[in-house]
Amino acid sequence: MTDIATLLPPKQRRKTRIGLVAGGLGTYWPQFPGLLPQLQESAKYVSDRFEGMDAEVTDVGFISDAQEAAVAAEKLRLADCDLIVMFLTTYLTSSMVLPIAQRSNTPVLIIDLQPTEKMDHANFDTGLWLAYCGQCPVPEVGNVFRRAGIPFRSVSGYLRQDSAWRRIEQWINAAHVRSALRHARHGLMGHVYPGMLDVSTDLTLLPTTFGSHVEVLEFDDLRQRVEKVTEAETAARMDLARQVFTLDDTVKDEDFAWGATVSVALDRLVEDFDLDSLAYYHRGLDGEQHERLGAGMILGASLLTARGIPVTGEYELRTTVAQLVTSVIGAGGSFTEIQALNFDDNVVEMGHDGPAHLAVSSSEPLLRGLGVYHGKRGWGVSVEFDVQPGPVTLLGLGQDRDGALAFVASEGTVVPGPLLAIGNTTSRVDFARDPGEWVDEWSATGIGHHWSLSVGHRAADYRAAANLLGIDFRQV
């Protein structure tokens, strides 16, 4: 399969910022001279592990009392972190942790990683035991955080424990999501698909919930850029598409060229407005220019989605956000809805026409010509492929009566079998239960009728992200 990342380089965003501080109770240092060097060695190991992660790390060092904690808190506040990690190397007082959480106004993860799996009881004295005492203050910190109204999260384990580091990495993935959404610029172009009440979203909701910006665009913003695309640029985009896709015999040359022209203009629109995502819809009438623009979006939207800039139809702002979430943690994420149920094979068939995420494809994706795509007037080319077999996780943004958003997720397995060949991204997902019962429970969560289909079982990552974002998480 073509190396998509080489042909379509991912968008470069602001790096996720992780703050790191280690600490212990300074009263111990004169009492047990060998203790502090041992703890500092553990802190260096932790710091080195974090430096190897895909993030910008601000390590403010080792603190021993509340005064040093206050200095560290100010440094971390200025660093504008997406997550602060506090390493409890031994017992310390909660007064050393609280100001870091309060002054930075940033989520804090407490980690307490003792040196090895267990103590050597026969040969340990008090000083050696204290290096294993990082778990002791964790309940204290949890109590004080609750009383202060600060969300508490922790990972307890030992220094080289793989499972503990996997849990820590889930919080780092969550920080990637928080970073992306805090600084995201979401484009909305056109208008909501008439009658789809579930996809309608209050535009103030994303800035107030995540800190994102919503840029309202017109199809004329795209039209004006389409008019400036040259024949050479269109031809070059068609050449790129031939490297990424297999062209089906149903693709008409004029439709292919039009989709390529719109794709070039879409790239310029995204660049000019510095967009991290785009949701669009335009109904159009009798083949006028705006309707032709809407029908020509799928090729360019799929190429942008493959670069980590999700573009979805039907004005699906919340699903575009979900696709951005799944994309930034490396799980792809394709625009998806329920197509049908297969009770013989016990699967839910899912897919959608329109933009798709190439990272979830099982083979070379196909460009297929469309005489019409469902529920819309139009024509043009669409992307079709089968989702790769194996574990997948659905993620959508539900919305409640009070307007609050929630992450809604479900883990399943894509299994092989017959699929429609109608220009859709399609999959057969086995949730290890009666598919009708799954639909009922999924629909009761507040999810809309679209979501992101991502590869791998990633519900734990999405749960952690919801925690950092301060929204509900629901799993079916």
Q: Tell me how far apart the alpha carbons of residues 147 and 264 are, in angstroms, rounded to a whole number.
A: 54
Q: Which two tokens stand for residue 218?
A: 């017109």
Q: Report the domain count for the chain.
A: 2
Task: Choose one of 130, 150, 181: the last residue of a domain.
Answer: 181
CATH number for the domain that contains residue 285: 3.20.14
- Exposed, middle or buried, 18 (CB in 10 Å: 0-12/13-18/19+)? buried
Tokens 């300074």 -> residue: 26
In-domain check, residue 7:
no
pLDDT (tens digit, 9 = 90+) per residue, 283-313? Answer: 877 778 888 888 888 899 989 998 999 999 8
Residues 173, 176, 178, CA angle at the centre, nearest 5°? 115
What is residue 372's predicted lDDT score, i.e. its pLDDT?
Answer: 53
- My answer on whether 169 and 208 are in the same domain is no
Cα R_g (the chain), whole angstroms: 25
- My answer on whether 169 and 21 are in the same domain is yes
In-domain check, residue 6:
no
Residue 92, CA distances (Å) to 64, 86, 147, 264, 361 in order = 8, 11, 18, 57, 50
In-domain check, residue 5:
no
For residues 319, 194, 216, 446, the Cα torsion angle rounded to the nearest 10 degrees is: -30
C-alpha closest to that of 370 among 421, 419, 304: 421
pLDDT (tens digit, 9 = 90+) per residue, 50-75? Answer: 988 889 999 999 999 999 999 999 99
pTM of structure: 0.91
- Bigger pLDDT: 31 vs 357: 31
pLDDT (tens digit, 9 = 90+) per residue, 389-442? Answer: 899 999 999 999 998 999 999 999 999 887 776 656 778 999 999 999 999 999
CATH number for the domain that contains residue 62: 3.40.50.10940
In-domain check, residue 213:
yes
- My answer on whether 300 and 221 are in the same domain is yes
Q: Tell me how far apart the alpha carbons of residues 381 and 383 are, in angstroms, rounded to a whole number.
A: 7
Average pLDDT over residues 112-129: 92
The tally of CA atoms less than 13 A away on the side-chain side of residue 282 is: 23
- My answer on whether 63 and 106 are in the same domain is yes
- My answer on whether 369 and 299 are in the same domain is yes
- My answer on whether 318 and 427 are in the same domain is yes
Pairing state of beta strands 390-399 and 451-455?
Answer: antiparallel
Pairing state of beta strands 108-114 and 83-88?
Answer: parallel
What is residue 2's predicted lDDT score, i.e. its pLDDT?
Answer: 54
In-domain check, residue 9:
no
Q: Which domain holds residue 154?
A: 17-181
Contact between 106 and 76 under an 8 Å Cβ cutoff? The reply is yes
Task: Choose one of 165, 181, 197: the last residue of a domain.
Answer: 181
pLDDT (tens digit, 9 = 90+) per residue, 131-176? Answer: 999 999 999 999 999 999 999 999 999 999 999 999 999 999 999 9
The residues, any chain, with a CB within 8 Å of residue 24's CB and separated by 6 or more, are 35, 36, 39, 62, 64, 88, 89, 90, 91, 92
Candidate from 253-257, 264-268, 369-373 with smallest mean pLDDT: 369-373
- My answer on whether 147 and 265 are in the same domain is no
In-domain check, residue 393:
yes
pLDDT (tens digit, 9 = 90+) per residue, 357-403? Answer: 776 776 677 787 766 544 455 556 777 767 788 999 999 999 999 98
What is residue 278's predicted lDDT score, i.e. its pLDDT?
Answer: 96
The residues, any chain, with a CB within 8 Å of residue 90's CB and separated by 6 or more, are 24, 25, 28, 35, 39, 130, 131, 133, 134, 136
In-domain check, residue 32:
yes
Task: Choose one of 115, 150, 181: the last residue of a domain.
Answer: 181
Q: What type of residue is 176?
A: H
In-domain check, residue 1:
no
Average pLDDT over residues 3-27: 89
- My answer on whether 169 and 215 are in the same domain is no
- My answer on whether 146 and 245 are in the same domain is no
Average pLDDT over residues 111-136: 93
- My answer on whether 208 and 279 are in the same domain is yes
pLDDT at 471 over 70: yes
- My answer on whether 146 and 218 are in the same domain is no
- My answer on whether 232 and 380 are in the same domain is yes
pLDDT at 48 over 70: yes
